[in-house]
């Protein structure tokens, strides 16, 4: 039976696992934590928008007449505030991620061009 500890493939696999857990895994954990916050924000935004539509938007002629009173109620004002806040937060976070990705793509191609020269 061959000794697997001296096998070169096993040591490469072992080094790859160590590299993954030391260098890559912390980034994946951090990205997943940020993604959970973003998903929670998007879901809360959607729920608030649905509740705002159901509770604060008039669907009849009488509701249209009472809409100045309805839209001034605290729960409608609070939901509208949260919809605006969460929508802006999602928008700016998307812009930040796009800028970060664009910067990293440019850096990658500049580095690879320098290596070729």
pLDDT at 18: 74
pLDDT tens track for 82-107: 999 999 998 998 899 899 889 989 98
What are the boundaries of each domain within the chain? 8-116
Q: Tell which wins on pLDDT, 100 or 8.
A: 100
Cβ neighbors of 67 (< 8 A, separation 6 or more) are 58
pLDDT tens track for 51-80: 999 988 888 999 889 888 888 999 999 999
Instruction: List C-alpha distances in Å: 68 to 53, 65, 71, 72, 77.
Output: 15, 7, 6, 7, 12
pLDDT band at 29 (very low <50, low <70, confident <90, very high): confident
Task: Compute the distance between CA of residue 7 and CA of residue 35 in angstroms, rounded to an integer.
Answer: 40
């Amino acid at each position: 039976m061959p000794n697997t500890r001296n096998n070169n493939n096993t040591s490469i696999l072992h080094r790859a696992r160590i590299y993954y857990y030391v260098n890559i895994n912390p980034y994946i954990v951090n990205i997943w934590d940020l993604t959970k916050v973003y998903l929670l924000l998007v879901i809360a935004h959607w729920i608030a928008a649905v509740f705002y539509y159901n509770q604060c938007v008039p669907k009849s002629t009488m509701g249209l007449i009472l809409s100045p009173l309805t839209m001034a109620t605290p729960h409608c004002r609070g939901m509208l505030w949260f919809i605006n806040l969460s929508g802006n937060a999602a928008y700016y976070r998307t812009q930040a991620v796009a800028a970060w990705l664009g910067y990293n793509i440019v850096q990658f191609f500049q580095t690879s061009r320098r290596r070729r020269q």
